[in-house]
A and B are shown apart, each in its own frame.
Chain A
Amino acid sequence: MFCEKAVELVRELHRMSDGQLPAFNEDGIRQVLEEMKALYEQNQSDVNEAKTEGKSELIPSIKFRHCCLLRNQRCITAYLYDRLLRIRALRWEYGSVLPTTIRFHMCAEEVEWFNQYKKSLASYMRSLGGEEGLDITQDMKPPKSLYIEVRCLKDHGEFEIDDGTVILLKKNSQHFLPRWKCEQLIRQGVLEHVIS
């Protein structure tokens, strides 16, 4: 059956829970593109035949193939676009540097799209308000308390807080820090919020 491979691509993403990025299915895409090529060529020759020999009985199958072509196009773009949305979400979750395990699942063009998205977002945030701009990927949750208790999950080195104090983030050490300074480190998995 036509279009089965294309639908399988969409299904593959649908099966994944939100936010997960499976490996880019280059082979699947290639197979759909091959099917499209075959459908198109078949249609070309049928159209010629219908025109020159007046075979109107060919028209329904031409139409059918054309629908399959449109459906294939739609499924492929849906697959690619949905992946972009997942990749976009990663920027907000991990910051501008992605973990290698995730980058491994992206194709070269997706990496390119991600870099461009990063740039657009950064210049947008820089242009907000005063000289420094505003990082809107911070302050994701309404603040509940000023300081929070955090535990260090890995060695991160020295870390400066607003009033100039420098602290050493050493694995397994525990600190009482301003919440707005730790948000990103928590999301990156360097710190863990200790809820007592």
Chain B
Amino acid sequence: RTMADALSDAGDLSGGEGSQDDVMTPAELIARLEEAWLNEKFSPELLESKSELVECVMEQLTHMEENLQRVRKGDLKASVHHMEIGRIRYVLSSYLRSRLQKIEKFFPHVLEKEKSRADGDPSFLSPEEFAFAKEYLANTEVYLKAVALRHMPPNLQSIDMLKAIPEPCLDSFVFLRVKERQEKILVEPETDEQREYVVDLEEGSQHLMRYRTIAPLVANGAVQLI
């Protein structure tokens, strides 16, 4: 029994009124959440923000909880639904947590990337995450200044956070499953003795590759990190 099944059941419970999104069924919604969750968990860098998805899932959860209030106490069905709500909430929280962790770990780079983003390009931070990242940077700068930097010689009273905080390592290796067949993916050499080569990625096949090579495919959903 999967989460998605239970969610569609919950949709039945509500008499189908929860159709805030006409194109997506609850099952698809949860599948999308799981996809985003795994990609975020395994990619070394922060991925595109999916605020809408998060909002939809939160709405679904509230909806399911409301429906559960109406179910008789001690009903077996109720505890099964409780369990499913718990699971979905875990996936959602874990997804948001791993994003927040990356924001905290790479905050100067994340903010820099967001600043240099062209209008119309997808945002890497939700408005809430953006506010959090800015506060985190300011808080940390104020702290370092107050405790140590302001007591240092005049030419050493500031540090470049972009240089001081490590960048995400895009050369780390990730496991992936191919969702849409790809032709002629250029794999760059790792050492001087190797030469670059191209590979075709068959649908459904699994690979271990450098993240940098397939980062665009993660972004457009052609591969899934596992």
Contacts and interface: CB of A to CB of B under 8 A. Distances in A.
A86 to B, nearest CB: 13
Range of interface residues on B (Cβ < 8 Å): 35 or more
A179 B86 contact: yes
B170 to A, nearest CB: 22
B156 A107 contact: no
Given A113-B143, A146-B83, A146-B86, A33 B148 contact: yes
A146 B148 contact: no
B93 A134 contact: yes
Given A77-B144, A128-B128, A129-B55, A36 B93 contact: no
Contact of B58 (A107, A113, A129): A129
Q: Is the interface of B mostly helix, strand, loop or mixed?
A: helix
Given A29-B148, A33-B148, A33-B151, A136 B100 contact: yes
A69 B157 CA distance: 11
Interface of B: 54-55, 58-59, 61-62, 73, 79, 82-83, 86-87, 89-90, 92-94, 96-97, 100, 104, 128-129, 131-132, 135-136, 139-140, 142-144, 146-149, 151-153, 156, 159, 164
18 contacts: A29-B147, A33-B151, A77-B148, A84-B143, A88-B104, A113-B139, A117-B139, A120-B132, A120-B139, A121-B132, A128-B54, A128-B58, A136-B96, A139-B86, A139-B93, A140-B93, A141-B90, A142-B90
